[in-house]
């Protein structure tokens, strides 16, 4: 006898695997099966989401999916090595979906919308110092501002002369959101006092040298905890020494670091309940590089708009198999319908289990 | 040892109707106090109301009804076993509550003259006040969010902690990862609902219950372990509702003119839900199945009924009836007894509380379905949520610091780890739940007798052993479910010992002992209380007199 049948139907064409239904379910019935592309993405970006929305002709909604990454997208779209494409299921049939190209298309076309940061409504009165203004420092700053903190950057002397258009662009946006940029010498302020922060984030282990002896952990730390990124009390370091073959990993580590900082500031444990969305899954998927199908070069950022328009983008996006979606994992449905009500795409239909029907 | 630690002033366990109201009220009177809600599911829609509601079952509207009349109605409805103070206080505060909800934008139905639409749901008096609010839970949740309350979703309370005789916090578990969390708290308000998953519903589908199946008696057992007393556990409440679906419709249809009929077309009720006992009797005498007929009503009324049934409480009813090709204009609705629930909101089982929502343990309050204020429904959940908050705030201000019991935490952790360990375990958790609930259905509900009830107690030992030694766990969800099933088994134990103690029959089907078929007002018009003995296995029972009973006002049927 089947004692637990029931039936949630999800429309593959419209489901964007956002996971809202999973969060809202009041019986813990649903789970999200995460598409390979998203599993492979170091920062867990919902590729399937924006691609499905392009395919449905809803580009304005598609860009919404990307907004949580704000100006960082300029960097991501330019520099990412697209691990997502390497695991795309379509690859075995007729070549991976051009996920990176579609991202470049969106980022280029809607770049004005990306010059902003959705700051959390809950204002914090905490100040965070960040040493280093490479991509990992800027990403930390971005996430910290998003979490409502005030941010001070300290450019390291060996970074100072470097010029990078994309990083400068990100920096400008952060400045608009009141980030202060200083030099590493300014770690001591004009009156000779060491500046005090609620938390300090280093871009690399070597940055310990810049700290005054009041803060420097003795003996110096030689490795960083992979999950918590904590170095010493309120000092964190985003670099865990893990591989750097995809620059986007640096952003991922920055996000993890700020998550820890937030927990630290809220007096929450740094490791509890993590691991659900950590990089482990991502790294594993990244290594499954089955190298089937085409590896043709992608259209570079500069001329993506010349080569792609709404129609070609839509055609490309329509090739997506829609691998990820919500599914009924636990068979505990009470057919109460919040999941259906909250689905932004109206892709979910709750049927009454056969035993009851 | 991966345990999350936190600290708060007031900890509310369960973010349903009562929990939300308690949080709002506490912040209203003391915004500086820290409040945290642990919610087993996701707070936005969780709980019995899930989305909306069609009526506030008890409101004493001035000039129409008063608390004294309500007391008469409820005393007669409970056959005299109800303390008067809590019910009286609830009725007194009910109209202010209605006004407050209205201010928040909850829509009550008002006629052209500005009078509330009231319906008769009790033996006397029109206390039920119609509402048309599909978004009730959303409104509540919004209010809580505005008040800066910490809300932790997917945290299921499993045990309370004490510092001497006083409450000092609780241990919870993440229902997705199985990780433990410990909160130190000066006071705790239990709002974790009743026991919806008792025996199996008639459909055989584990979660096809009337009440929200996330409520699995956790609150009862947490209270019991902490030393609170459970009352009325022998009251196995079951109503006649939509066959197979167990969804509510009685009040909505009957109070608007629907007829409840037996299979010989005798009309049992029409226009008022005042003869529930008669319905059960008809079924017992073989005059079932009962049905509700709406055919005779004007189109206008039928569409109003449809509108309410299909939007407020269980909107899924529309699909249910469509699937079965049932149109109220041409077809009757078949009814069937639901599964049994133990519930302090619809029934009369739960943690014993006084009119201050106090459980008798310093710092521990209980409100809503988890506490027994007989048939308090939503009104009770809201009013006692507020009362619990008011008293908890007072007590919290007098407490400086509390310690949590580290030894107990360690033993909970060890137990959890042994349950997580799958070595040599092979019983599927779903089958386990199915069997537990099937056996409960065999031995606990009426007709009861000493032999049957003892049979359950024997099975219970087997199940408790299987639970520790044989049931296989795959993830955090399964682990949380294992704890829920443990609570189901222990609630059944409580129900069995209470039923063994009450050597009489009372409340019709809710407690019928074939070995003591008569009602014995002389000896048994009192409460049967269950309390934890010195060991985990031991349960003690005692009795307590009913307080504030006015004998003259009770009329016993028959
Ligand atoms: C279908 C239906 C229709 C109803 N219609 C009416 C009506 O028309 N009029 C009326 O007056 N009353 C009605 N009621 C009754 C009323 O809804 C309930 O009495 C009231 O909502 C109970 O509130 P509560 O807060 O005690 O429980 P709930 O609102 O059920 O909340 C309990 C909460 O606790 C959580 N929880 C459970 N266990 C734990 C745990 N271990 N740890 C943490 N959290 C936990 C649950 O997830 C849930 O959110 C109805 C009930 C149902 C089920
Ligand atoms: S209907 Fe309710 S229980 Fe079922 S999946 Fe949706 S939210 Fe979960």
If you average pLDDT over every residue of chain B, what do you get?
A: 92
* Separation of alpha carbons A254 and A237, rounded Å: 9
A256 pLDDT above the threshold of 80: yes
Residue B147, chain A, CB below 8 Å: the answer is: no
| Bond preceding residue B230 cis, omega within 30 of 0 | no
pLDDT interval class at B1 (50, 70, 90):
low
Q: Is the CB of B248 under 6 A from ligand 1?
A: yes
* Separation of alpha carbons B505 and B364, rounded Å: 33
User: Residues A171-183: pLDDT tens digits?
Assistant: 999 999 999 998 8
Contact A28 B154 (CB under 8 A): yes
Chain A positions touching B323 (Cβ under 8 A) are 352, 357
- The pLDDT score that the predictor gives to residue A218 is 59
**Ligand at shortest distance from the CA of B344:** 1
Is the CB of residue A256 less than 8 Å from the CB of residue A221?
A: no
Contact A272 B314 (CB under 8 A): no
- The pLDDT score that the predictor gives to residue A86 is 83
- The pLDDT score that the predictor gives to residue A296 is 60
Residue B315 has which token pair? 């909107």
**Ligand at shortest distance from the CA of B367:** 1
In degrees, rounded to 5, the angle at the alpha carbon of residue B399 between the alpha carbons of residues B396 and B401 is: 120
pTM confidence score = 0.91
Give me the mean pLDDT over the B497-522 stretch. 94
Complex ipTM = 0.91
Rg (chain B; Cα; Å)? 22
Chain B positions touching A27 (Cβ under 8 A) are 41, 207, 213-214
Q: Is the CB of B355 under 6 A from ligand 1?
A: no
Residue B174, chain A, CB below 8 Å: the answer is: yes
Chain B positions touching A337 (Cβ under 8 A) are 50-51, 315-316
Give me the mean pLDDT over the B357-378 stretch. 95
Closest CA to B187 of B220, B161, B215: B161
Q: Is the CB of A353 under 6 A from ligand 2?
A: no
Phi-psi region of B292 (alpha: psi -120 to 50; beta: other; left: phi over 0): beta
Residue B42, chain A, CB below 8 Å: the answer is: yes
B292 pLDDT above the threshold of 90: yes
Higher-confidence residue: B3 or B357?
B357
For B448, residues 6+ apart whose C-beta sits below 8 A from its C-beta are: B499, B511, B512, B513, B514
Closest CA to A257 of A140, A151, A170, A346: A140
User: Residues A182-210: pLDDT tens digits?
Assistant: 888 887 777 777 788 899 999 888 888 77
- Ligand 2 centroid to A351 CA: how many Å? 10
How many Å separate Cα B71 from the centre of its chain? 21
Mutate to test the pocket of ligand 2, among A22, A32, A327, A335 (most ligand atoms within 8 A of CB): A335
User: Residues B455-503: pLDDT tens digits?
Assistant: 999 999 999 999 999 999 988 899 999 999 999 999 999 999 999 999 9
SS3 call for B341 = strand
Using the atom order of ligand 1, give the atom closest to the CA of residue B196: 53
User: Residues B106-164: pLDDT tens digits?
Assistant: 999 998 888 998 888 888 888 999 988 889 999 999 999 999 899 999 999 999 999 99
Rg (chain A; Cα; Å)? 22
* Separation of alpha carbons A213 and A209, rounded Å: 9
Give me the mean pLDDT over the B75-98 stretch. 93
Best to test chain A binding among B149, B152, B316 (most A CBs inside 10 Å) = B316
* Separation of alpha carbons B193 and B345, rounded Å: 9
- Ligand 1 centroid to B291 CA: how many Å? 27
pLDDT interval class at A213 (50, 70, 90):
low
- The pLDDT score that the predictor gives to residue A279 is 38
Higher-confidence residue: A1 or B336?
B336
Q: Is the CB of B212 under 6 A from ligand 1?
A: yes
pLDDT interval class at A278 (50, 70, 90):
very low
Give me the mean pLDDT over the A77-100 stretch. 86
Residue B181, chain A, CB below 8 Å: the answer is: yes
For B396, residues 6+ apart whose C-beta sits below 8 A from its C-beta are: B9, B10, B30, B33, B186, B187
- Ligand 2 centroid to B12 CA: how many Å? 24
Give me the mean pLDDT over the B406-435 stretch. 93
Closest residue on chain A to B48 (Cα) = A336
Dihedral of CA atoms B43, B47, B49, B51 in degrees, nearest 10, equals 40
Q: Above pLDDT 90, what percent of chain A?
A: 36
Instruction: Residue B222: count other Cβ atoms within 10 Å of its Cβ.
Output: 25
Residue B316, chain A, CB below 8 Å: the answer is: yes
| Bond preceding residue B492 cis, omega within 30 of 0 | no
* Separation of alpha carbons B146 and B13, rounded Å: 19
Q: Considering only B63-72, B501-510, B546-555, which range has the smallest mean pLDDT?
A: B546-555
Is the CB of residue A59 less than 8 Å from the CB of residue A106?
A: yes
What is each CA distance from B117 to B60, B95, B111, B128, B132, in whole angstroms?
12, 14, 7, 8, 11
Contact B51 A336 (CB under 8 A): yes
- Ligand 2 centroid to A28 CA: how many Å? 8
User: Residues A140-165: pLDDT tens digits?
Assistant: 999 999 999 999 999 887 777 778 88
Residue A274, chain B, CB below 8 Å: the answer is: no
B370 pLDDT above the threshold of 90: yes
Among protein residues, the one with the nearest Cα to ligand 2's atom 8 is: A25
- The pLDDT score that the predictor gives to residue A291 is 37
Residue A332, chain B, CB below 8 Å: the answer is: yes
Residue A327, chain B, CB below 8 Å: the answer is: no
Q: Is the CB of A349 under 6 A from ligand 2?
A: no
The domains located in chain B, with CATH, are 240-337 (3.90.700.10), 421-553 (1.20.58.100)
Q: Above pLDDT 70, what percent of chain B?
A: 97
User: Residues B92-106: pLDDT tens digits?
Assistant: 999 999 999 999 999
């Amino acid at each position: 006898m089947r004692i637990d049948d029931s039936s949630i139907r999800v429309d593959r064409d419209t489901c964007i695997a956002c996971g809202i239904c999973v969060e809202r379910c009041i019986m813990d019935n649903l789970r999200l099966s995460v598409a390979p592309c998203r599993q492979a993405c170091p920062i867990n970006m919902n590729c399937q989401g924006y691609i499905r929305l392009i395919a449905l002709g809803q580009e304005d909604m598609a860009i919404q999916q990307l907004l949580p990454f704000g100006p960082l997208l300029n960097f991501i779209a330019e520099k990412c090595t697209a691990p997502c494409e390497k695991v795309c299921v379509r690859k075995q049939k007729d070549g991976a979906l051009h996920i990176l190209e579609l991202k470049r298309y969106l980022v280029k076309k809607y770049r004005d919308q990306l010059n902003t940061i959705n700051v959390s409504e809950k204002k914090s009165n905490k100040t965070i110092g960040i040493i280093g203004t490479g991509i990992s420092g800027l990403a930390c700053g971005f996430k910290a501002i998003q979490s409502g903190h005030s941010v001070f950057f300290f450019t390291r002397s060996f970074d100072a002369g470097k010029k990078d258009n994309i990083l400068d662009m990100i920096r400008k946006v952060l400045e608009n959101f009141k980030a202060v940029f200083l030099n590493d010498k300014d770690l001591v302020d004009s009156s000779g006092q060491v500046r005090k922060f609620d938390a300090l984030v280093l871009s690399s282990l070597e940055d310990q040298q810049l700290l005054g002896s009041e803060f420097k952990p003795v003996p110096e730390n030689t490795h960083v905890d992979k999950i918590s990124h904590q170095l010493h009390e309120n000092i964190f370091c985003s670099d865990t020494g893990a591989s750097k073959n995809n620059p986007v990993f640096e952003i991922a580590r920055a996000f993890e670091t700020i998550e820890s900082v937030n927990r630290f500031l809220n007096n929450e444990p740094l490791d509890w309940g993590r691991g659900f969305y950590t990089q482990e899954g991502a790294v594993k998927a990244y290594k499954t590089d089955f190298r089937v199908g085409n590896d043709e070069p992608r259209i570079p950022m500069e001329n993506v708009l010349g080569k792609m328009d709404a129609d070609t983008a839509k055609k490309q996006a329509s090739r997506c198999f829609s691998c990820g979606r919500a599914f009924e994992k636990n068979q505990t449905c009470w057919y109460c319908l919040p999941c259906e009500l909250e689905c932004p795409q109206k892709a979910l239909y709750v049927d009454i289990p056969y035993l009851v029907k | 040892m991966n345990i999350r630690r936190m600290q708060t002033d007031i900890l509310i366990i369960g973010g349903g109707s009562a929990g939300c109201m308690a949080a709002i009220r506490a912040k209203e009177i003391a915004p500086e106090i820290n409040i945290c809600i642990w919610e087993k599911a996701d707070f936005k829609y969780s709980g019995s109301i899930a989305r909306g509601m069609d009526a506030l079952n008890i409101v004493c509207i001035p000039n129409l009804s008063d608390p004294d009349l309500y007391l008469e109605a409820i005393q007669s409805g409970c056959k005299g076993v109800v303390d008067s103070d809590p019910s009286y206080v609830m009725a007194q505060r009910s109209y202010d509550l209605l006004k407050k909800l209205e201010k928040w934008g909850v829509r009550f139905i008002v006629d052209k003259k500005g009078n509330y639409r009231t319906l008769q749901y009790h033996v006397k008096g029109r206390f039920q006040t119609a509402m048309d609010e599909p978004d009730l839970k959303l409104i509540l949740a919004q209010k809580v969010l505005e008040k800066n309350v910490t809300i932790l979703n997917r945290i299921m309370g499993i045990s309370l902690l004490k510092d001497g005789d006083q409450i000092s916090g609780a241990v919870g578990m993440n229902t997705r990862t199985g990780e433990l969390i410990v909160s130190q708290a000066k006071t705790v308000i239990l709002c974790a609902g009743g026991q919806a998953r008792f025996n199996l519903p008639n459909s055989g589908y584990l979660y096809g219950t009337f009440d929200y199946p996330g409520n699995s008696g956790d609150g009862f057992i947490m209270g019991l372990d902490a030393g609170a007393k459970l009352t009325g556990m022998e009251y196995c409440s079951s109503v006649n509702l939509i066959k197979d679906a167990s969804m509510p419709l009685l009040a909505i249809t009957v109070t608007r003119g629907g007829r409840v009929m037996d299979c010989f077309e005798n009309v049992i009720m029409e226009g008022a839900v005042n003869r529930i006992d008669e319905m059960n009797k008809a079924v017992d005498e073989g005059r079932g199945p009962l049905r509700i007929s709406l055919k005779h009503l004007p189109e206008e009324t039928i569409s109003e009924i449809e509108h309410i049934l299909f939007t407020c409480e269980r909107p899924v009813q529309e699909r249910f009836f469509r699937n079965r090709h049932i149109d109220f204009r041409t077809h009757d609705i078949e009814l069937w007894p639901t599964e049994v629930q133990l519930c302090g909101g619809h029934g009369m089982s739960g943690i014993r509380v006084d009119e201050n929502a106090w459980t008798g343990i310093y710092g521990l309050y209980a409100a809503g379905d988890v506490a027994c204020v007989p048939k308090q429904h939503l009104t009770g959940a809201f009013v006692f949520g507020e009362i619990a908050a008011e008293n908890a705030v007072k007590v919290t201000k007098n407490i400086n610091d509390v310690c949590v019991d580290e030894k107990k935490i360690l033993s909970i952790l060890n137990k959890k780890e042994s349950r997580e360990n799958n070595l040599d375990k092979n019983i599927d958790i779903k089958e386990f739940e199915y069997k537990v609930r099937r056996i409960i259905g065999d031995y606990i509900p009426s007709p009861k007798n000493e032999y049957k009830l003892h049979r359950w107690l024997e099975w219970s030992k087997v199940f408790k052993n299987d639970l520790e030694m044989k049931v296989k766990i795959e993830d955090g969800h399964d682990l949380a479910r294992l704890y829920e099933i443990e609570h189901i088994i222990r609630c059944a134990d409580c129900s069995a010992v209470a039923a063994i103690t009450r050597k009489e029959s009372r409340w019709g089907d809710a407690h019928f002992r074939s070995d003591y078929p008569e009602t014995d007002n002389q000896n048994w018009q009192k409460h049967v209380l269950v309390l934890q003995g010195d060991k985990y296995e031991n349960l003690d029972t005692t009795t307590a007199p009913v307080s504030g009973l006015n004998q003259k006002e009770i009329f016993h049927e028959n």
